[in-house]
Structure 1
């Protein structure tokens, strides 16, 4: 069996990371260089992350606020996953020109497609700022502790000198024991260069998602554009391809057994250090609740998308987004059960408790607190997923937030423009009739699954799915919010 060594090196994780022998997760400025070299790394840590000269960090970027992407040419050509560029591919697709199904390749740079709102972030520097952020927090308890930390973060950010295209982001690590400031440069002119048909880019679809090995051509290509001075700029026909400080040459060399490997990018977070009871609640309560809500949403969307080409394109990106973590949670539950993860954690905690009575007391307290908050966590899982997947409720929250801001005198020209842009983007890919069906079914599920103490008075009326559909469709037909009625 081929032995592969994987070292994960993360830029912006909200995670707790400890150096581990034979692999691990590190902030790029704190790499375990000796261990990495012992495992076969030929370059230095400075070749990976160096704020003073070009390094690998100048070729690894954050795509659209979430995904990892890599610059692979001296003209700003960028490679990322197909699902990461899926929303942009969908936005350029129509029934007549279905780029999702047919794929897209620009014949030359003039044929590359612009994507308003799409961004690419470079991490210019990372500094530990723990003393500044924790100043004045000794002996503080919540909520005062969080308020002081937030205040200190704003003071620190405001004191930094940055270019107009730069920003400072301060993130906590090690569960709030350390803080790091990231200097970020954001490029806003990002153009679609190419993507395979989804029969290649999404081969296996939800069945293979979160599963290894994958057999899909999961990639899409974009290009970063800059102004004539190679600096970030808003979209302009006069912009030119960005010249990166460093790019990654593509290698076609064979990989050999025991080759050294590390991964450099932008993941989300890890829950590796949760106690046994927390893992048990995720496996038996939280994930099943989330899955149940998305089961309903996905089935309802799929029924319409399979029979109507316009809806299929309109909801392609939304469906993929809903399905992504739905499949992840299904696999998470299966993996935790198969690996007997909860029992293993219980045994590990027992080993710790046997060594130190104080640890046993702490674990007992953690178990008690998790048991007490379990009903609230379960309700939050149903509630958050219902609101997230019912577009009617999302719209209601959006309008409510803006109306509240107007009434409080907080709605300025900038926030109003942002609100209008958000609505324009939302309604572009919105079907009010389909939304009414999804929302009706999710309200019924929430009303039937949620403990009475968490429901508003009179919410029992939403337990009947058929009645909900009739009510919401009637409301939708006469609603300005759903776009099925117009105001003079």
Structure 2
């Protein structure tokens, strides 16, 4: 009896509606959450949060670059806040030795000085609609996996087409609950997004890799952009004629702060969670996915760091690439540690045992869902294919840049060999020229050569020879297995290692040059092996997907009275909780906020991660906090809440019970890195930069008070 209680309690923690757990669809808040939210301190109505006919909170929250990060509008003229690390790529792209915006920060003193960012987008959610019945019309258990998939894809395409016909909107039907529900999401996407302001990295990235995923935190992780549109208010590519977007709604900003236990709400675009993953899947993550990522990226980061230390130019050049790679390197280490410490596999097995017991009590349930766990478990019996695929991705596709870049010329090679379509040839040349300028601006061939050699050695050592791409045989035969010699020869003779050689080739491209180019030959070999391994993996993928769908459907039927929330999938979600402290381990207590005093205490003069700007110290010692000081007289820098977030939520607004902005979410905490697979109620925290620290930095530190004047400030 005791064991049954433990299992049921575990299920309620993982799958039920809780104040702190759950990434809820805003369109269903009125039905599932609003009563509980009001009990916790929310003073807003469901319509004030999500409404398709009138302005609401959803109109102030945007997806950056289709969901890689989140942002929020804070003025009627399209002024947008997000994280510093979300704008890091743009800040780095505009930086140079003469204008090092990463080191010194950037502040446009007028709209004319705001910097354009080709390719950056901001998407507004227009509406969400449950289309499950339409998508699954005619879908039944008699269909094969492929037949079911084809019918769903056809119905989804028709729904998307109907939703966007005669509009400039884009739409996507997305699966929720592992294929058991389907929702239509309609967006309006703007393509002229300009950089307005960013603090120096000594504020926006204070603490660097050392503090990443850690609490206490003192990072001013924010940057500012502005959304522009055509004079008629519609999305448009960059033009000097474009005007600031007139916001349907923007968030008022509170200077009143927060107290322990205050209600907080986060709206944003969380990227991906897998809370319904089985014990078999978690075991695979711990034994394959994370170790592969850690082993490969450790070597890559070591080489990048060595190059970045050689000059200011090299540091600027690779800053964004290093940050992207480093983030999930540390994440994978922390996730494995958390999954083990919190015994997530054991908890998942308890759920699966209870599910099996539930099935045994009803023949209909057994007939419908009985094969779910068997399909899942059998898919993980032999994971050598999956391991090889993970290593290909990390060591050859995401590792060295030259392989993926050179593979992009395969289309030109095909066009040149056919020789009957000059327009196709010119189109490929034009595309390669456009990519060429961006690629070589932040590329060092010698560093990439070192990375290629080092990571190919790791692949050879860790992956069974049957998965070695065909060029490995050439390395053994011609170079006696010496990858240093192989990569040196490749980089010496390829046209893809320098802008000059690429430009010369594109002036008079020949198929025979591409066919024998060593980088392209190697890339084709890599992608061919990737395709072979992918096809082998597909032999079990269908069973795995079908098993997951049936398992989740069965869980939802087993607990009909529970409110289930869907995994994150880069669609807008709302989470709610409270400001709160926590005890990470025995004898240790963490307060719920930090102050500028702690920032100063962490100072290591001249250190890349903990250097403190001289002006910030001057303001601190003068006690010049202006209107941004807390009631206790200090300047709060960051605070924590128990909101449920993940990657993609970076930059999300943290909103109080009155609908006012009090912070910007930017990180999770180290003790609960298992959160994407299992939410840990007692430990999981959302780390937020205090909005008053943001405003103080803009106003007092940067002197950009004209931006404060745009905002709606609540005192």
* TM-score of the aligned structures, taking structure 2 as reference length: 0.62
CA distance 1:178–1:206, shift in 2 (3 Å): same
- The separation in 1 between residues aligned to 2:279 and 2:125, in whole angstroms, is 35
Q: Does 1:119 align with 2:144?
A: no
CA distance 1:222–1:162, shift in 2 (3 Å): farther
Q: Any idea what the Cα deviations from partners look like across 1:128-175, whole Å, max 9, x if unmatched? A: 222332334333323333333222222222223456542112211111
Offset of residue 302 of structure 1? 0.9
- The separation in 1 between residues aligned to 2:428 and 2:125, in whole angstroms, is 28
- The separation in 1 between residues aligned to 2:402 and 2:193, in whole angstroms, is 31
- More moved, 388-397 vs 97-106: 388-397
Offset of residue 249 of structure 1? 1.1
CA contact (8 A) 1:18 1:25 kept: no
Q: Does 1:230 align with 2:227?
A: no
Q: Does 1:20 align with 2:17?
A: yes
- The count of residues paired between Structure 1 and Structure 2 equals 471
Q: 1:472 aligns with which of 466, 487, 492?
A: 487
- More moved, 341-350 vs 464-473: 464-473
Q: Any idea what the Cα deviations from partners look like across 1:282-338, whole Å, max 9, x if unmatched? A: 112220111111111111111111113222211111111111211111111111122
Q: Does 1:385 align with 2:385?
A: no
Q: 1:185 aligns with which of 185, 188, 192?
A: 188
CA contact (8 A) 2:170 2:188 kept: yes
Q: 1:102 aligns with which of 104, 126, 129?
A: 104
Q: 1:312 aligns with which of 301, 311, 315?
A: 315
Q: Does 1:369 align with 2:379?
A: yes
Offset of residue 456 of structure 1? 3.4
CA contact (8 A) 1:169 1:181 kept: yes
- The separation in 2 between residues aligned to 1:171 and 1:405, in whole angstroms, is 35
Note the 1:21-420 alignment, pairs <5 A.
Answer: 21-22=18-19, 23-31=21-29, 32=32, 33-65=34-66, 66-138=68-140, 139-162=142-165, 165-357=168-360, 358=366, 362-372=372-382, 374-386=383-395, 387-404=397-414, 411=424, 417-420=430-433
- The separation in 1 between residues aligned to 2:22 and 2:288, in whole angstroms, is 29
CA contact (8 A) 2:279 2:349 kept: yes
Q: Does 1:459 align with 2:460?
A: no
- The separation in 2 between residues aligned to 1:20 and 1:407, in whole angstroms, is 59
Aligned residue in 1 for 2:457:
444
**Secondary structure of 2:75 counterpart:** coil
- The separation in 1 between residues aligned to 2:317 and 2:167, in whole angstroms, is 35
- The separation in 2 between residues aligned to 1:80 and 1:390, in whole angstroms, is 30
**Secondary structure of 2:22 counterpart:** strand
CA distance 1:27–1:414, shift in 2 (3 Å): farther
Offset of residue 235 of structure 1? 1.2
Q: Any idea what the Cα deviations from partners look like across 1:356-382, whole Å, max 9, x if unmatched? A: 43478643553233223x222222211
- The separation in 1 between residues aligned to 2:310 and 2:94, in whole angstroms, is 21
- The separation in 1 between residues aligned to 2:255 and 2:274, in whole angstroms, is 35
- The separation in 2 between residues aligned to 1:308 and 1:245, in whole angstroms, is 46
* TM-score of the aligned structures, taking structure 1 as reference length: 0.89
Q: Any idea what the Cα deviations from partners look like across 1:2-48, whole Å, max 9, x if unmatched? A: xxxxxxxxxxxxxxx96613342211111222222233221111111
**Secondary structure of 1:191 counterpart:** strand
- The separation in 1 between residues aligned to 2:193 and 2:480, in whole angstroms, is 43
Q: Which has the higher contact order (CA 8 A, sep 6+)?
A: 2
**Secondary structure of 1:435 counterpart:** helix
**Secondary structure of 1:245 counterpart:** coil
Aligned residue in 1 for 2:642:
none
- The separation in 2 between residues aligned to 1:468 and 1:243, in whole angstroms, is 56
Aligned residue in 2 for 1:431:
444
CA distance 1:443–1:406, shift in 2 (3 Å): same
Offset of residue 353 of structure 1? 3.1
**Secondary structure of 1:175 counterpart:** helix
- The separation in 2 between residues aligned to 1:443 and 1:151, in whole angstroms, is 41
Offset of residue 260 of structure 1? 1.9
- The separation in 2 between residues aligned to 1:415 and 1:176, in whole angstroms, is 38
CA distance 1:144–1:453, shift in 2 (3 Å): farther
- More moved, 455-464 vs 474-483: 455-464
